Amino acid sequence: MIKTKTTTLALLIASSMMLAACGDGNDGKDGVDGENGQPGVPGQPGGNGLNIDMADEAIANISSARYENGIITVDFSLENSQGVGLIGLNGTNPFHDFRFSLAQLQIKDGTELKQWFSLLNETTNDAGTTFEQGFEKINDCPECLTDHQDGTYTYTFNTNLTTADDPAGVTFDPQLTQRIAIEMQFEYDSGHELAENAHFDWIPSTNASEGIETRDLVTMQTCYTCHQPDSLKAHGGRRLDMENCQSCHNGIVTDPNAISVELGHMVHAIHMGPHREGKDSEGNVVPMPYTIAGYGGAHAFDYPAFPTKPFMDCAACHVEDDTLADKDLWLANANANACTGCHTDKPAQHKSDKNPELTCTDCHSAAVHNDHAKPYQAAKAYDAVVTNVAISVANEISFDMKIMDEAGNLVSQAEVYKQGYSKPYVVVSWDVEKDYPDFDQSPYSQRRIDIKDPAKATWNSDNSVSVKVAMNFPSDIASRSLEVLPVLKVCFEEDSANRVSCDATNAYPAYVQTEAYRTILNDTATVVAKRRAIIDEQTCYDCHSYEFYHDSNGVNCIACHTNDKKLGAVEDANGDALASGEMKSTSFMYKAHKAQGHDNGHGGSGTILKTDCTTCHAEVEGWGGKAYGFELGRNAGQAHAVPSFIPGKNNDPALTPAATWYASSDAASCISCHQKYLSDAAMAHMQNNGAYFGPDKQEAKDAKEACATCHSPEKIMEHHGHQL
């Protein structure tokens, strides 16, 4: 403090002396002005846009291309979603991984076969006998790129296509359709990424880009029926668009072991999964999953794949889309390489040596793949009509049923399928709006009526069926919603719409898809709705085709797999119960969330559904619009059967086997996916906010959950890595 005061005093004394000097009027003359300096070097004009390194996203578009004397020049733009140009792309920037590929469309004379063949090819094995598509990278030729400082760029290829020696022997032809494709993937040290694809098809000799030959069989949007966009960002997120996949996975490329990775072959082979089989060197039929040698070593696609059963429904991908110029090309019997994708190069189905070249289409037509669907397509026009429903004072339900074809002809008992687990059932339910009957009152096994069981059903001479069965109905059943759901198969000739007796050697059973009969017995004028709309049922059909799993009449799974249905044993790969005594829920919600391919939050292939709830919970059909059917708090009063513990997590031998506990609705929705991973703190958090998890079923029903207060649909989606 003393030092500070002293310093301040000295400054005041000095200041007063200076002021005194100024007061004398002795300030001297002004100096001479200095000379002006030389003008500086003109700088580069400023850019009009956002620097690409500051961008959260990039949208690429190729506007035009030019060809002269073997050299291609391409004009393209980069912008964000607001249309602001992205400037600053530079080949000297190590983060700017930006590249171009070329492919040309070749048509085989006298056939309908047309395929992309890559240019700029590189060899993939030491012998120089296998090839992959090469690229021109701006990092290899920074001077080839011109930044116009407004989000537009020009790139001049460094390769002269008339003098370059392609190792795969592909000769550039300027009169054919050429595809220029952009691949960009910036991976910054901060973890931020930018990835984008774009393509441009044009004929260099005429400079035409409209009305030219191309190859459009499927769209990426069709792939998104089952897959999620994130899961199809191949090669570490570099490949995003179908057109880029086509130009790279073309008719010339293979892995180092000469296994084709042409898109048609590869996609068919991958989707066969563990069902792909062939013959070994001794002629034995053996599993032959598609196996390719990648950068990480050999990879076999031997896990569950294409979910359409019991046959491969080609129309799931090859959809009727008039915007696709080549939507019917897959039926043209042109590309035998696509055939061996499914059937292997030594197909188990092949019983002859007459065709050593194995050009499948010499003998077979791709059109036969449509024939497999004919029984299902025919069954869609069939109907099972329920009439005369009544419930007696003795709790006997009676009704009549007619199974009819499109013309109204009745199906005979011999034409209705029954074998093993697959029986012609009618499932009786009530309280549809409350997620179906309480399991304790009437288990599913009691509500399921086998219409070929003579103790329950009588087949009349006109092929109608009369049913009478005692059941444990609630006392006020006449005022409750009642549902009678037929679940049955009719037999057709294989690959045909012709109905046949089920004991015929060529009999093929297909499910009849018919609406359930719903009524309120003492108020038949009331229209009884389906269970509340939670999922868009069409999304199930789009991915699974005609049949989901078993006993399939639409998406009515909860009629059997109710929330409080008994637990089932967790089984090993052989179908045997685990020695640990681990148990699982058998409710519809649990089974849908945990089905193979659906549950990829913890393991799985990573390519099907992942954790994007909107794959099944669609906006159009969802509960309350944008809630998409996963709005919490909407289903109070329900009890969901769950196991009391998970062996390995709660490893207490005294708990074995797991007991049946119950969870309130919101807690159950989380448990259906996460029970094995929930911490004690997470469970306590749910319970502290009104959820119930324990042995008392009624307490689960009475729970007053407050989860929806904080956990909005938007936040739930954000937590799962997506946006609503």
CA-based end-to-end distance of the chain: 63
Angle between helices 336-343 and 263-272 (to 10 degrees): 20
Please tell me the pTM assigned to this model. 0.82
Query: In which element (H, E) is residue 666 found?
Result: helix 665-674
Under 8 Å between Cβ of 239 and 268 = no
Which tokens sit at 207? 């400079």
> Which phi and psi angles does 173 have, rounded to 5°?
-125, 110
Partners of residue 221 on adjacent β-strands: none
Distance from C-alpha of 276 to C-alpha of 267, rounded to nearest angstrom: 12
Distance from C-alpha of 269 to C-alpha of 338, rounded to nearest angstrom: 8
Which tokens sit at 205? 């000799």
Beta strands in 628-713 (DSSP E): 640-643, 660-663, 693-694
Which tokens sit at 508? 């093929």
> Which phi and psi angles does 15 have, rounded to 5°?
-65, -40
Distance from C-alpha of 429 to C-alpha of 431, rounded to nearest angstrom: 7
Residue 326 CA from chain centroid, whole number: 24
The pLDDT value given to residue 676: 82
Distance from C-alpha of 122 to C-alpha of 223, rounded to nearest angstrom: 29
Kindly report the three-state secondary structure assignment for every residue of 587-633.
CHHHHHHHCCCCCCCCCCCCCCCCCCHHHCCCCCCCCCHHHCCCCCC
- pLDDT tens-digit map of 136-183: 999 999 999 999 999 999 999 999 999 999 999 999 999 999 999 999
- Torsional class of 97: left (φ above 0), alpha (ψ -120 to 50), beta (otherwise): beta
Kindly report the three-state secondary structure assignment for every residue of 164-188.
CCCCCCCCCCCCCCEEEEEEEEEEC
Q: Which among 221, 338, 323, 218 is positioned nearest to 270, based on CA atoms?
A: 338
Distance from C-alpha of 380 to C-alpha of 116, rounded to nearest angstrom: 39
Distance from C-alpha of 643 to C-alpha of 653, rounded to nearest angstrom: 15
The pLDDT value given to residue 88: 97
* C-alpha dist (Å) from residue 34 to 5, 31, 37: 43, 9, 9
Q: Which among 549, 555, 513, 553 is positioned nearest to 532, based on CA atoms?
A: 555
Dihedral sign of CA atoms 314, 316, 317, 318 in order: positive
Q: Using the 8-state DSSP alphabet, how is residue 716 labeled?
A: H
Q: Using the 8-state DSSP alphabet, how is residue 251 labeled?
A: T
Distance from C-alpha of 703 to C-alpha of 643, rounded to nearest angstrom: 18
The pLDDT value given to residue 17: 47
- pLDDT tens-digit map of 226-264: 887 777 777 767 778 999 999 999 989 999 999 999 999
Tokens 């792309």 belong to which residue?
89
Q: Which among 687, 650, 695, 649 is positioned nearest to 670, based on CA atoms?
A: 687
Respond yes or no on whether the N-terminal peptide bond of residue 647 is cis (omega within 30° of 0).
no
- Torsional class of 333: left (φ above 0), alpha (ψ -120 to 50), beta (otherwise): left
Respond yes or no on whether the N-terminal peptide bond of residue 657 is cis (omega within 30° of 0).
yes
3-state secondary structure of 395: coil
Q: How many residues does the chain have?
A: 724
Which pairing describes strands 383-391 and 396-404: parallel, antiparallel, or unpaired? Answer: antiparallel
Which tokens sit at 435? 């997620």
> Which phi and psi angles does 320 have, rounded to 5°?
-80, 95
Distance from C-alpha of 238 to C-alpha of 174, rounded to nearest angstrom: 28
- pLDDT tens-digit map of 392-418: 999 999 999 999 999 999 999 999 999
- pLDDT tens-digit map of 181-229: 999 999 999 999 999 999 999 999 999 999 999 999 998 888 888 887 7
- Quote the radius of gyration of the chain (alpha carbons, Å): 35
Distance from C-alpha of 424 to C-alpha of 388, rounded to nearest angstrom: 20
Dihedral sign of CA atoms 370, 226, 275, 416 in order: negative
Which tokens sit at 263? 């898109």
Distance from C-alpha of 288 to C-alpha of 279, rounded to nearest angstrom: 8
Distance from C-alpha of 170 to C-alpha of 251, rounded to nearest angstrom: 11
Kindly report the three-state secondary structure assignment for every residue of 266-314.
HHHHHHHHHHCEEECCCCCEEECCCEEEECCEEEECCCCCCCCCCCCCH
Q: Which residues of the chain have pLDDT under 50?
A: 1-22, 602-604
3-state secondary structure of 689: coil
Respond yes or no on whether the N-terminal peptide bond of residue 289 is cis (omega within 30° of 0).
no
